[in-house]
Amino acid sequence: MSWDEEFARRYDEWSAQMTEDIAFYVELAREADGPLVELAIGNGRVAIPVAGATGKPVIGIDSSPAMLEQARSRAAVAGVELDLHEGDMRELTLDEQAALIYCPFRALLHLPTWADRRRTFERVAASLRPGGRFAWNAFAFDHHVAARLDGQHQDEPVPHTVRYAVGDNRIDITLDDAKAYTRPFTVRVNQQISPDEEIIEFICNENQQFRRRVKID
């Protein structure tokens, strides 16, 4: 459910253009009265600014040791505290319930099945304190876009080719330099098909759970 470990060294290039979401998560973190948790923390792209803005440590979960090592090094340079754990978001367990759990940059879409996503939501709900928030990013799948882009080579942000497996609800992204590694790797992103949400905020209260659309300006 994660990037291939070899891809970790290219992640900075891949994510360089994704910056507009940081302020959104920083704002949520500033409003949170309690522990902050990022699922699929990666190299700390979001968590480090969040920790810097709030002065609080961010608990980070990721299944990639290589990405966690990058996050650890970057946090040390930035002078912020990240509490990093190698693990599976589907098995999320916290010592203390969180005020905010967030999962940026479409990372939930790496989960291979709807059952996996449901399991993650169940674990998140169990890990949030009353009034806690779960915020995540996803994109709405468009079959017309998929048909147009299927098999096309793209140069940005890293040279790659995209293949859409609509029947499997999947995108395969193969980097041009995959042959340089001992085994070819494909980044597999399972799309959560949602008609109109881009950012969804999940609010967990004592007696009810609901979701609402949240816009990034």
User: Closest by alpha carbon to 4, among 191, 173, 190, 152?
Assistant: 173
Give the model's pLDDT for residue 165: 72
Taking residues 30-53, report their average pLDDT: 96
User: Closest by alpha carbon to 109, among 99, 98, 120?
Assistant: 120
Percentage with pLDDT > 70 across the chain: 69
Give the model's pLDDT for residue 216: 36
CA distances from 48 to 26, 53, 170, 210, 216 (A): 10, 9, 30, 28, 20
User: Closest by alpha carbon to 12, among 56, 53, 42?
Assistant: 42
Task: Please report which confidence band the pLDDT of residue 11 belongs to, taking 50, 70 and 90 as the band edges.
Answer: low
Taking residues 128-142, report their average pLDDT: 85
Dig out the tokens for 118 from the structure. Answer: 């449901």
> For residue range 193-216, what is the model confidence (pLDDT) as tens digits?
333 333 344 444 333 443 444 333
Average per-residue pLDDT in the chain?
A: 77
Give the model's pLDDT for residue 167: 65
> For residue range 73-124, what is the model confidence (pLDDT) as tens digits?
999 999 999 999 999 999 999 999 999 999 998 788 778 787 888 999 999 9
CA distances from 211 to 7, 148, 203 (A): 33, 32, 6
User: DSSP class of residue 96?
Assistant: S
Is the predicted pLDDT of residue 46 greater than 90, yes or no? yes
Tally of CB atoms within 10 A around 197: 18
Give the model's pLDDT for residue 149: 80
> For residue range 170-200, what is the model confidence (pLDDT) as tens digits?
677 777 765 332 222 334 444 433 333 333 4
Give the model's pLDDT for residue 13: 60
Question: Among the residues of the chain, which ranges form H helices?
Answer: 11-15, 22-31, 47-54, 65-78, 114-127, 143-149
pTM, to two decimals = 0.74
Give the model's pLDDT for residue 183: 29
Is the predicted pLDDT of residue 166 greater than 80, yes or no? no
Q: Parallel, antiparallel, or unpaired: how do β-strands 199-204 and 128-137 relate?
A: antiparallel
